[in-house]
Amino acid sequence: MVVGDFPIEVDTLVIGAGPGGYVAAIRAAQTGQKVTIAEKGNLGGVCLNVGCVPSKALIEAAHNFEKAKGDEDMGISSENTTVDFSKVQSWKGGVVQKLTGGVQSLLKGNKVDVVKGEAYFVDQNTVKIMDEKQSQTYKFKDCIIATGSRPIEIPNFKFSERVLDSTGALELKEIPKKLIVIGGGYIGTELGTAYANFDTEVTILEGMDRILNGFEKDLVQPVKKNLKNKGVEVVTNAMAQGVEETEDGVKVTYEVNGEEKTAEADYVLVTVGRKPNTDELGLDEMGMEMDDKGYIQVDKHSRTNFENIYAIGDIVPGPPLAHKASYEGKIAAEVIAGEKAEVDYMAIPLVAFSDPEIASVGYTKETAEEAGYEVKESKFPFQANGRALSLNSTEGFLKLITRKDDGLIIGGHVSGANASDMIAEIGLAIETGMTAEDLSLTIHAHPTLGEVSMEAAEVAMGRPIHTM
């Protein structure tokens, strides 16, 4: 112990200032708790700094570049569209700075003490926060662990200047001529699509039999079609074997159906999943209950096997989603404050910012039937929507999952323009117990994409207007 390391006492200590941690800290402070938050990196965590936010900024810039090249169907063309990628990166960095600065102001405004350093648990009520210069002991009544996750590094693909994780792909100094993406999940598909829109020649190698495996097949079909139109080569059932780095590129070896193949590119992006940051906190020594992958086991209140320690976000089972972490953070803070709160994942959406976007919330027809429900699946196509036609974005559809006996909405799935925004209405419908009739009676402005939800509800009721 450093001389003079007298313990600092706090009500609630939050470890990690990502979208789970900083939200938990603010909600805890709002309930009257004395809160300290510890973060070894930048406020905002992976999401704000090197994940959700900058990736969506890059995706939007790529969309703008693609649009600037024109649309022949609309009679618009341009032969001299250019992109200054350094300015794109600078703009993206500005977006990140505004948000991380906002987090700092919010924490300060809610009187949350911010401490820089890494945390290590001594016991159920004590941690040490360490930086390069010193170590400080903190005594807490309650603690919320929100340390997030990091990219998985696969054998024979050690991250380097040419072998990139998602962070590296977001920080490239130039647009690659060729890019190989290992992993066709939402991160690989999103970033692969973004660079394809910047005219990069992209190859996606996916180990399973299809990309975006977390979504239903019919939702993914419009994405696969668009990837093909962009010239993206998607190779499924492909197992990456190794990479040979050269001075100006990479040579990737992979296996498909027992046949070894190779592909060359400027860079290879590895996006095969993430692993929880629970291995350097001293949790094993303390007796924290975790599974064999390092995920902390929690109850419906986000509480671990220690009654005063909670865990949220990417370090607990479930998809690594920023909005899931924020939701769990609020629940944990409210439980600590003595409020009645528990997690309910029914209305948590999944979104892929692909082209077109995909979004899903609640049950699918298959999972609903597995749960014992008799359900109806009702689709409405974007091509029958006036706003989609005027945007020249008619790919995809919205489908509702409703109970047959009463029309209760228990699921919704969108593949199409602005799906990431449209899914919120379906999530609200599920959360508030709306039926298809309730949704159909909600007057939607015309012409908007939101009308697709109303039209799908009318399909569910057997009274559609704009489709047979």
* pLDDT tens, position by position, 295-317: 999 999 999 999 999 999 999 99
Query: What is the predicted pLDDT for the residue at 80?
Result: 86
pLDDT (mean) for 20-30: 98
The three-class DSSP label of residue 295 is coil
Share the mean pLDDT of the chain: 96
Contacts for 340 with CB less than 8 Å, ≥ 6 apart: none
Residue with tokens 């993406």: 181
CB atoms near residue 73 (< 10 Å) = 7
Portion of the chain with pLDDT greater than 90, in percent: 96
Judge whether residue 444 has pLDDT over 60.
Answer: yes
Which residue did the predictor score with more confidence, 72 or 321? 321
pLDDT (mean) for 115-121: 97
- Tens-digit pLDDT profile for residues 344-393: 999 999 999 999 999 999 999 999 999 999 999 999 999 999 999 999 99
CB atoms near residue 255 (< 10 Å) = 15
Query: What is the predicted pLDDT for the residue at 247?
Result: 85
- Tens-digit pLDDT profile for residues 207-260: 999 999 999 999 999 999 999 999 999 999 999 999 999 889 999 999 999 999
Q: Residue 1: which pLDDT band, with cuts at 50, 70 and 90?
A: very low
Cα dist from 149 to 133, 199, 301, 386, whole Å: 25, 31, 21, 42
Domains of the chain: residue spans and CATH: 8-150+275-345 (3.50.50.60), 163-272 (3.50.50.60), 356-460 (3.30.390.30)
Query: What is the predicted pLDDT for the residue at 132?
Result: 86
Query: What is the predicted pLDDT for the residue at 468?
Result: 87
CA 346 – CA 316 distance, rounded (Å) = 17
Query: What is the predicted pLDDT for the residue at 4?
Result: 56
Contacts for 463 with CB less than 8 Å, ≥ 6 apart: 440
CA 267 – CA 207 distance, rounded (Å) = 19
- Residue 13 falls in which region: left (phi positive, over 0), alpha (psi -120 to 50) or beta: beta
Portion of the chain with pLDDT greater than 70, in percent: 99
Query: What is the predicted pLDDT for the residue at 436?
Result: 98
Exposure class string for 176-188: b at 16+ Cβ within 10 A, else e: bebbbbbbbbbbb
pLDDT (mean) for 154-168: 96
Strands (E), 247-335: 250-256, 259-265, 267-270, 274-276, 309-311
Q: Residue 2: which pLDDT band, with cuts at 50, 70 and 90?
A: very low
CA 406 – CA 310 distance, rounded (Å) = 38
- Residue 122 is given by DSSP the state E
Please give the positions annotated as active site: 446
Take residue 33 and report the two structure tokens written for it.
């708790």
According to DSSP, the β-strands at 201-205 and 178-182 are: parallel
Contacts for 126 with CB less than 8 Å, ≥ 6 apart: 7, 137, 138, 139, 140
> What pTM does this model have?
0.95
| 49-53: long-range contacts, CB 8 A cutoff, minimum separation 24 | 49/96, 49/100, 50/166, 50/167, 50/170, 50/171, 51/166, 51/167, 51/322, 52/19, 52/322, 53/95, 53/96, 53/99
